[in-house]
Amino acid sequence: MVVRFNNWGVWSNMARAVEQKQTKGPGRPEKEIDYALVRRYAQAQCTQEMIAASLHLSLAKCTKDAEFIRVYFEAKEEGKQLLLLAQQKSALNGNAQMQIWLGKQHLRQSDKIDTTSDSRVTIVISGDDKDV
């Protein structure tokens, strides 16, 4: 440690500032981001807020980290693909509801609702009421 004194024999603020820059200072060591957990949570379609909270990190720290952002968006897409493959497997194994849902989502199939009617309505008005 270099101690510098000014003309009056007092340790100068400039020397103090230089010393603080050279050392990390008192405080907690910086937490590392577990990218394997980020990938797992993102594949499950967790939000960035949820992932940051589960890792006990601030959202600001996570969103400023380029690797976090890269892993997050890459894993979100992987998760969607895995989910679609699982749904397709379920449909191919005979799940009729899944077959209908996938057909509507990806093949533009829809339920046809018939809104026409063949029924007729007959209105009978009696002429006995003179108050009307």
pLDDT (tens digit per residue) in 50-99? 999 999 999 999 999 999 999 999 999 999 999 999 999 999 999 999 99
In the chain, where the domains are located: 32-106
pTM value is 0.58
Q: Is 45 left (phi over 0), alpha (psi -120 to 50) or beta?
A: left
Token couple for 126: 């009696």
Hey, is 91 helix, strand or coil? helix
